[in-house]
Amino acid sequence: MKIVPILATVTLLLFLKSPVLAAGQQPSSGLTRDEARQNCSGGFSNETARLADRMPDIPDDKRTDAQKKVAVEFAGARGEERGGAVFGPYVALLRSPEVLLHMQRLGNYLQFKSVLPPKLRQFVMAITARQWTQEYMWSVHCPAALMAGISPDTAKALAEGRRPTRMTEDEEIVYDCMDELHRNQSVSDKTYDSAIAKFGEQGVIDLIALNGYYTALSMVLNATRHPLNKGIAPGLPMFPH
């Protein structure tokens, strides 16, 4: 990190304690977290988001030895996030400690160390959350995407199920890749060639892996009905089925 005045350094460290701005992800949009959350909250009445949690957190005294061991490792890997507590999709995944362990390791690379820039990583997470109408995932990664540089108009279009307009070139390539994978279960030659030219082979694999990883987490969250954090309103209208 570049040497900056002490006040700026303190401000940056405060931002980095956010669950969605860690391990080098720095805010670049100028939006505060509250402003970003406001842009991502549509105030929709989503009954699914109010259903009872099927796999709530397991109290410490009810955890198996394997669960306790993995929870400690998780806390160490995720640093100060939520005081080191197991949170989000990992609450349900703790039922299968080995699955949580390997998912968390993959997620740490994809979210924090991928060759893709933070803005595009968060964009993929928001696109995937919208695809699965996953409110918890959207409530975390839509604000993070805005703070990383995705425009509020782009987030609004995603929430409404529309193709965003006025995307940057790299955002368009990411969107097209993810849209084709979700809709067609494949990627056209034109879209693939654009992605390779822009991100290289490692970047394209990271892009696909991000999509798959957050699809898996969205499936876990939807199936177990993990609730939104207290005080967060649903941000996504339901797609017709």
pTM, full prediction: 0.82
Provide the pLDDT confidence category of residue 1 given band limits of 50, 70 and 90.
very low
Q: What are the CA-CA distances from residue 154 to residues 79, 103, 104, 125, 158 (Å)?
A: 31, 29, 29, 14, 6
pLDDT at 117: 97
- Kindly state the tokens that stand for 128: 């995937």
Residue type for position 151:
S
- Domain borders along the chain are 28-224
User: Do 135 and 128 touch, CB atoms closer than 8 A?
Assistant: no
- The pLDDT tens digits of the residues spanning 17-68 come to 333 343 344 456 677 878 888 788 765 555 655 678 999 999 999 999 999 9
pLDDT at 92: 98
DSSP structural state of residue 50: G
CB atoms within 10 A of CB 24: 10
- The pLDDT tens digits of the residues spanning 138-159 come to 999 999 999 999 999 999 999 9
pLDDT surpasses 60 at 235? yes
pLDDT surpasses 70 at 12? no
DSSP, collapsed to helix, strand or coil, labels residue 11 as: helix
**What's phi and psi for 29, nearest 5 deg?**
-90, -20
Task: Decide which of 2.30.40.10, 1.10.10.10, 1.20.1290.10, 1.10.3720.10 is the CATH code for 28-224.
Answer: 1.20.1290.10
Between CA 217 and CA 212 the distance in angstroms is 9
